[in-house]
Amino acid sequence: MAALDTVAVTGPVPGPAEPSLLRRVVHDRVGAAALAVVLLFLLLALAAPLIAALYGKNPVEHYGQNTPGLLSDGGVPMLPNGGISGEFWFGLEPGLGRDVLTQLLYGIRTSLLIAFAAAGVTTALGVLAGVAVGYLGGIADRLFGFLANVLLAFPTLLLLLAISPVIQSRLVDPNAAEPDWMQFLVLVLVFSAFGWIPLALSLRATVRSLRERDFVQSARAQGASRFHVVVRELLPNVRSQLLVHATMAVPAFVASEAALSFLGVGVTEPVPDWGRMISRGSEVFRSDPTYLVFPGVALLLFVLAFNLLGDAVRDALDPRRAR
C-alpha cells in the first residue's frame, strides 16, 4: 500500500470543483465494471430472501432427498450437469440435495457479513492505533512496535483450528447448538485481532511524517489540542489510505473465510457458505464436476471484482496519476 502524502485542503478550493471519488472511479472502465459487479453482489445478498421467494426454493430444504427421482441411490443428481433443470436452475447439491442457487445467494450474505464486519473493525482499530501511535511516538511507539511483531508472528490459522473445538466444548451447553452469532463473532474477532496490524503500521509511518509538516506544526503553535490535531489535521490526510485498505480487506476476508470453511473450522451447517460448497465440490468432483463450478466461479468473480475496485479507488485517489 503506497503511503500517500496529500496535504489537507483547508477552506474552499479555488478554481473548478474536483470531480467526486465515485465519478473518478466510474471514469475508469475497469473500475466501473468492478463497481457494477460488486453492487450486483450486494444487491443479490440483500434481496436473497426476495429472490428465493420468487424462485420458490430455500437453501435448507433437502429437495433431492424428499422428492424421489432427483438423486440416485448414492446421492448423485440424476439429470446431467449436476441436476440443472427448469426447476433447479443451478442444479442440486449431491448428497443432501439442496438447491444450489439459493445456497449461493445466501452464501453471499455469510461471506459479506463476516468480511464487512471484519473490515470495519480492522479499519477502525488500525486508524485508532496507527494515528495515535504515530502522533505520540516515544514509549507508545516502541510498545506498539513490540505488540505488532508479536501479533504478526501469530499463526492465525492454527489458532482458529485450535480454538474452535474449545469454544464448542467450553462455551456451548452440551444440549444446545453453537448459536450462529457465536460462530460469526468468533470469526470476526479472530480476523480483527490480527488484521488491523498492517494498516496501523502503514498509518504510523504516514502520520510520523505528517506531524513534522508545517500545517501540523502551525496548528500546534496556535495552541490546538491534541484531539484537534489528530481529528482535524491528520485524519483527513489518511482518509484515502483507509478507503483503499477497506476495499482491499473485504475480498481478502471473503477468501480467508472460504478457506477456513474449506478446512472445516468456518461457519458450520446449515448456514450456507461458499467455502463449504467448494470443499464439497472437490469431494464429488469426479461424479459431479458442475457442483464445483458455481461456488468456484462466484468466489472468483466476487474477489476479483472487489480487488479491481480497490485498485480503481487507489488510482482515483492517487494525485500523481494524471486525470
Partner 1 sequence: MRWTRPSLAVIAAALLTTSCSAGAGSTGHAGGAASKDTSPLTAALGTEKDSAGPAPAVPGARPGGTVNVYNSVEFRHLDPQKVYAGATYNASLLWGRQLTQYQVVDGKAKLVGDLATDTGTSTDEGRTWTYRLKEGVAWEDGKPITSEDVKYGIERTFGKGYEVGPPYWPQWLTGEPNYEAARAKYAGPQAGGLAAIETPDARTLVFHFPQPQADVPYMAAQSSSSPVRRDKDTGTEYDRLPFATGPYRIVEHVQNTRMVLERNPAWKAETDPIRNQYPDRFVFTYGKEALNGNQEILSGRDGGANATTASDELSPELYQVTDTDPKAGELVVSGRRGAFVSQLVINNERVPDVEVRRALNLAYPRQQARQVQGGSRTGELASTLSSPALLDWQKYDLNPARPEGDPEAAKAALAKAKQAPGTLSYAYRNTPDGQRVAQVLVDGFGKAGITVVPKPIDPKAFLDEVHRADSPYDLFEETSSVDWPTPSTLIPFSFDGRAGSDINSARYRNPEVDREIDRINRIGEPRAKAKELYALEQTVMKDLPVLPLAYPTVNQLRGSNVGGAFIHPIYGAVGLTWLYLKS
* 92: helix, strand or coil: strand
Alpha-helical runs (H) found in the chain? 21-27, 29-46, 48-55, 63-66, 80-83, 100-136, 138-153, 156-171, 180-195, 197-211, 214-221, 226-228, 235-263, 274-283, 290-317
Q: Applying CB under 8 A, does 272 fall inside the site for partner 1?
A: no
* Choice from 21, 51, 58, 81 touching partner 1 (CB under 8 A): 81
Q: Applying CB under 8 A, does 236 fall inside the site for partner 1?
A: no
Residue 130, class by beta-carbon neighbours within 10 Å (0-12 exposed, 13-18 middle, 19+ buried)? buried
Site track for partner 1 across 86-115, x = CB under 8 A:
---------xx-------------------
Residues 279-308 that bind partner 1 (CB under 8 A): 279-283, 285-290, 292
Tell me the closest approach of the beta carbon of residue 94 to partner 1, in angstroms.
9
Amino acid at 299: L
Cell output for 235: 485524519
Q: Applying CB under 8 A, does 77 fall inside the site for partner 1?
A: yes
Q: Applying CB under 8 A, does 174 fall inside the site for partner 1?
A: yes
Q: Which of 43, 28, 93 is nearest to 65 (CA)?
A: 93
Tell me the closest approach of the beta carbon of residue 65 to partner 1, in angstroms.
5
* Choice from 6, 21, 37, 62 touching partner 1 (CB under 8 A): 62
Q: Applying CB under 8 A, does 6 fall inside the site for partner 1?
A: no
* Residues near partner 1, by CB under 8 A: 62, 65, 71-83, 95-96, 165, 168, 174-177, 264, 268-270, 279-283, 285-290, 292
